[in-house]
Amino acid sequence: MILTVTRACNLRCAYCPTAKDGWPSLSVDDARRAVDLFADHHASVGAPGDIKMFGGEPLLVPDVVRAAMEAAAERPEVRRVYLSTNGLPLDRDFLGWLRTQDKAILTVSMDGQPRDHRGLRRALPGVPDSYDHVLSLLPELMATPRVVVTQTIAPSTARRAAENFGHLLDLGLRRFNFLPGYFVPWRAEQLRALDAGFAAMAARIEAEWGAGRRLYVRNLFTWAPTPFFNTGFVVDADRTIHPSNVGLSGQLDGLRGRTQVGTLDEPPSVEALRERAAQVNDMLQDVLPPRIWQSTLAADAALTRFVRRLYPAWAQGRRARRRTG
């Protein structure tokens, strides 16, 4: 399940497509109902499922986040709860509470060196610097299990992708998710820089694994039929239910009427979700300018090549760890 608890955000990141203004947020009761609906479905199919909480910035409604986490903790049908944040609303008290949540996986956005991170992640007036804030919490983040850093690589920073990754490694971070800019235009030279950056990053990761050092790359274990967006049981901030969160994007907001299959009060069948999900990519091609769609596919292909290069080294490292216990 993808739970968009709010569209509100305290940043205006250069590459973020999310439509943020004028939206409601889910209530505590909405969050609990969504978790129970999802868990009831997985109880019927006999396999556990994961929940991903997104925004906007989810921690602008911390009571809703806590309610969803606590509801998931009570349901064995939920395996993990992923929480994505820009890091600004994090504090020591919340991280201490999060460490008590056995199912929680925290994903924090850090794009690399201060100049690129700050250049891409623009704060609203009066909002503190997100790079400095996350850095101030680094000891607590390192002590929190399963914290993953998402490094977004925009067209403007592609030529420094490996340099930015090296900076994050030097900070001591060891768990990563990599995200090229999607649904934005890429020039040919920027795509070449992206490929070169991924190649250098892969070489660094292979060297770390070859030396027996642990380094987690989430991209090795994820796949989605639509680039960037998530497919599943999607609950938006206005309580509507969709098979994909493509409607998060301001330029794709018009698709929400075509993707909606229910609400929290009138949830859809699994069959309705699957049927509509199969139509999403065709909908995207209907409404997106060809250059944006082709740029998205090209950036996604670069990420795929990066991941496929890493699989042999990852498998070799896993075998070595098994031999040594």
pLDDT in tens, 237-263: 999 999 998 887 777 777 888 999 999
Cβ-based neighbour number of residue 297 at 10 Å: 12
**ω into 56 cis (within 30 of 0):** yes
Q: pLDDT over 70 for what percent of the chain?
A: 99
Pairing of strands 104-109, 216-217: unpaired
User: Can you read off the two tokens belonging to residue 86?
Assistant: 């820009």
Q: Encode 134-190 in three state secondary structure.
A: HHHCHHHHHCCCCEEEEEEECHHHHHHHHHHHHHHHHCCCCEEEEEECCCCCCCHHH
227-253 burial by CB neighbour count: b if 16+ within 10 A, else e? bbbbbbbbbbbbbbbbbbbbbbbeebe
> Cα–Cα distance between 185 and 324 in angstroms, integer?
47
Cα dist. 77→4, 38, 294 in Å? 20, 9, 38
Alpha carbons within 13 A on the beta-carbon side of 144: 28
Q: At CA 127, angle to CA 124 and CA 130, rounded to 5? A: 100
CATH of 2-324, one of 3.30.1370.60, 3.30.200.20, 3.40.50.620, 3.20.20.70: 3.20.20.70
- When pLDDT is cut at 50, 70 and 90, the band that residue 264 belongs to is very high
82, amino acid identity: Y
The arithmetic mean of pLDDT across residues 53-65, rounded, is: 95
Give yes or no for a contact between 300 and 193, defined as CB atoms under 8 angstroms apart: no
Sheet holding 49-54, edge to edge: 216-217, 175-180, 147-153, 104-109, 78-85, 49-54, 2-4, 231-235, 240-244, 262-263
> Cα–Cα distance between 260 and 254 in angstroms, integer?
11
User: pTM of whole model > 0.85?
Assistant: yes
Give yes or no for a contact between 120 and 174, defined as CB atoms under 8 angstroms apart: no
pLDDT tens per residue, range 174-199? 999 999 999 899 999 999 999 999 99
pLDDT tens per residue, range 209-218? 999 899 999 9
Alpha-carbon Rg for the chain in angstroms: 19
Cross-strand partners of 147: 106
Determine the length of the chain: 325
- When pLDDT is cut at 50, 70 and 90, the band that residue 303 belongs to is very high
pLDDT at 179: 95
Give yes or no for a contact between 34 and 68, defined as CB atoms under 8 angstroms apart: yes
- When pLDDT is cut at 50, 70 and 90, the band that residue 96 belongs to is very high
